[in-house]
Amino acid sequence: MASYTQEELTGMVQEAGLRVTGHRLAVLGYLSKVKNPVTVYELVDALRKKDNIDQATVYRNLASLHEAGLLRRLDFNHGHAHYELETGRASHQLVCSNCETIEKIEGISIDDTVKKMLKKSKKFKQTTTHSMEIYGLCKNCA
């Protein structure tokens, strides 16, 4: 997790070819400060009061920021997406199948596994990044 300054976030939006808006910066700013991927509902709840953003605006901004490559959209089979800032680094999460708790795990490399997957692949030559979800039960649900 890395928190970015307003200037850094502005630069990221500009480099992605998007118009810089307060709502885009609010979404990126929030996602740069949270440790785990968040749902749209969590994002709306966090930004509604502070930045006066409604749900439709959050959805539109998530879509444009994801399409521009600034956000990573994750599906944990919960019936809704989770979002995190795209850092270009691998993303690994442990996901509770019962209560939907998510814990992001950093500092673990699966580079050897990725290399083996590419060797076996008939259609891919290289990867740029990856995301991995491991499902199980958290300590509270076990």
- Let me know: does 29 contact 6? Beta carbons within 8 Å: yes
**Range list for CATH 3.30.1490.190 in the chain:** 89-142
pTM: 0.77
CA distance 10 to 6: 6
**Range list for CATH 1.10.10.10 in the chain:** 1-87
Yes or no: is domain 1-87 CATH 1.10.10.10? yes
Q: What is the DSSP secondary structure assignment for residue 19, as one 8-state letter?
A: P
Domain 89-142, CATH among 3.30.750.24, 3.30.1490.190, 3.30.2130.10, 3.40.50.2300: 3.30.1490.190
pLDDT at 14 over 70: yes
Give tens-digit pLDDT for 71-120. Answer: 999 888 878 899 999 887 777 889 998 998 888 888 788 888 889 999 99
E strand or H helix that includes residue 58: helix 55-67
pLDDT at 141 over 70: yes
